[in-house]
Amino acid sequence: MVAVLAKANMLLLRVDMNRGDMLSQKRASILGALFLCFALLLGSPAKASLCSGASSGDLSAMERAKVKRVVDGDTIWLQDGRKVRLIGVNAPELGKKGRQSEPFSVLAKQRLIELVGDSALIYLKVGEEAKDRYGRLLAHVFTHKGVSAEVVLVREGLGFAIAIPPNIAMQDCLRQAQIEARTARRGVWNDVYYAPRSALNLKRSDTGFRVVTGRLERVILKPGSTWWLLFEGALAVMIPASGQEFFERKALQELVGRELIVSGWLIKKNLSAKQKAKKYKPYLMSVKHPAAFIAPLL
């Protein structure tokens, strides 16, 4: 399935997020429909079920909880005092500490409120890794009707699909939802603020969750060590040992020389004089799953 989607998805590289070419948009919409048809036909029944909605049987196996309030587009407080971080979606950030809210952050929060509401009964599919480093519960959130909150947010362009192993049970659903949103240019996929940053022109202000585009110039895949994907310009993508099992070495090697679009948390490294002399890349993005590659699909 991924191979079929990857071949067709490459055509979407021609549709730049800043263009207004209507013909390209129409072609992209047609391709998006094809993506979803192939994905739904070839996907596993269990995952397809959760994509379209959890059944009563699915819900009965999940934990029930009540919402106290929605914090933002990907975080909620429960009435029992626990804080839940939705798995598989990264919503735009609300403004705090003097910083302005990112585009669609308020809409993402409002949409999540519409989905789960205050005092509403929800169902939690807790992740294989149950808590993050901040102590938040990591879970997929379903409404009392079995609707996946994460899938809705991603499909409507109110958040980006993310994959952080081992919590990847619904990754196929979320990837399909993101393809649909990107093809239809919904929300974050139709706003210049979220347009892919070029690896050739990265700035410190670009740090945080970003979509970056660039030409891959070299890969370093040493056994027993961190893998590195070096882009033209200032970007180095690292694949830690914990994520390497999800990648095929040959597939990564075949990306050399190609234009890629990758998403994740971008950080700026403070290079030493020695590292600068060795031409280390000053910007780093760590990825642990092929879903971080928006184009081409891996």
Do the Cβ atoms of 91 and 159 come closer than 8 Å? yes
Q: Tell me, yes or no, whether 158 and 235 share the same domain.
A: no
Q: Tell me, yes or no, whether 145 and 62 share the same domain.
A: yes
Residue 115 host element (H or E): helix 105-116
Mean pLDDT of the 142-165 span: 96
* pLDDT tens-digit readout, 242-294: 999 999 999 999 999 999 999 999 999 999 999 988 899 999 999 999 999 99
Number of domains comprising the chain? 2
Tell me the two tokens of residue 112. Answer: 């999540």
Closest CA to 10 of 33, 38, 31: 31
**What is the pLDDT, as a whole number, of residue 271?**
92
Q: Tell me, yes or no, whether 155 and 203 share the same domain.
A: no
Q: Which among 148, 168, 188 is the end of a domain?
A: 168
Mean pLDDT of the 215-230 span: 96
Q: Choose between 160 and 40: higher pLDDT.
A: 160
**Residues in Cβ contact with 138 at an 8 Å cutoff, skipping those fewer than 6 apart:** 84, 85, 87, 126, 127, 129, 130, 131, 132, 167
Q: Where are the alpha helices (DSSP H) in 16-74?
A: 22-42, 45-52, 56-60
**What is the pLDDT, as a whole number, of residue 31?**
46
Identify the domain containing residue 69 by its residue range: 51-168
Give the CATH number for residue 201.
2.40.50.140
Does the residue 101 lie in any domain?
yes
Which percentage of the chain shows pLDDT scores above 90? 77
Does the residue 255 lie in any domain?
yes
Q: Tell me, yes or no, whether 164 and 55 share the same domain.
A: yes
Does the residue 12 lie in any domain?
no
**What is the pLDDT, as a whole number, of residue 11?**
43
Q: What is the spatial distance between Cα 71 and Cα 3, in angstroms, rounded to a whole number? A: 38
Q: Which among 153, 168, 183 is the end of a domain?
A: 168
Look at phi and psi of residue 88 and say left if phi exceeds 0, alpha if psi is from -120 to 50, else beta: left
Is it the case that residue 29 has pLDDT exceeding 50? Answer: no
Q: For residue 25, name the pLDDT band (cuts at 50, 70, 90).
A: very low
Does the residue 271 lie in any domain?
yes
Tell me the two tokens of residue 27. Answer: 């072609």
Q: Tell me, yes or no, whether 119 and 162 share the same domain.
A: yes
**What is the pLDDT, as a whole number, of residue 33?**
46
Does the residue 179 lie in any domain?
no
- Label the pairing between strands 197-198 and 208-220: parallel
Q: Choose between 3 and 95: higher pLDDT.
A: 95
Give the 3-state secondary structure of residue 4: helix
Q: Tell me, yes or no, whether 203 and 152 share the same domain.
A: no
Mean pLDDT of the 150-166 span: 97
Q: Tell me, yes or no, whether 112 and 219 share the same domain.
A: no
pTM as predicted: 0.83
**What is the pLDDT, as a whole number, of residue 147?**
95
Does the residue 228 lie in any domain?
yes
Do the Cβ atoms of 142 and 84 come closer than 8 Å? no
Q: Tell me, yes or no, whether 151 and 208 share the same domain.
A: no
Does the residue 191 lie in any domain?
no
Q: What is the spatial distance between Cα 291 and Cα 164, in angstroms, rounded to a whole number? A: 9
**What is the pLDDT, as a whole number, of residue 49?**
57
**Residues in Cβ contact with 188 at an 8 Å cutoff, skipping those fewer than 6 apart:** 92, 103, 104, 157, 158, 159, 160, 181, 194
Give the 3-state secondary structure of residue 98: coil
Q: For residue 46, name the pLDDT band (cuts at 50, 70, 90).
A: very low
Is it the case that residue 16 has pLDDT exceeding 50? Answer: no
Does the residue 146 lie in any domain?
yes
Give the CATH number for residue 135.
2.40.50.90
Q: What is the spatial distance between Cα 160 and Cα 189, in angstroms, rounded to a whole number? A: 9
Q: What is the spatial distance between Cα 84 and Cα 74, in angstroms, rounded to a whole number? A: 8
Q: Tell me, yes or no, whether 214 and 135 share the same domain.
A: no
**What is the pLDDT, as a whole number, of residue 3?**
43
**What is the pLDDT, as a whole number, of residue 98?**
81
Q: Tell me, yes or no, whether 125 and 202 share the same domain.
A: no
**What is the pLDDT, as a whole number, of residue 51?**
76
Residue 172: C-alpha distances to residues 36, 135, 176 (Å): 11, 26, 6
Q: Tell me, yes or no, whether 123 and 228 share the same domain.
A: no
Do the Cβ atoms of 225 and 270 come closer than 8 Å? no
* pLDDT tens-digit readout, 55-111: 989 999 999 999 999 999 999 999 999 999 999 999 999 998 888 999 999 999 999
Q: Tell me, yes or no, whether 70 and 108 share the same domain.
A: yes
Mean pLDDT of the 120-137 span: 95
What is the amino acid identity at position 210?
R
Tell me what the pLDDT averaged over the chain comes to.
87
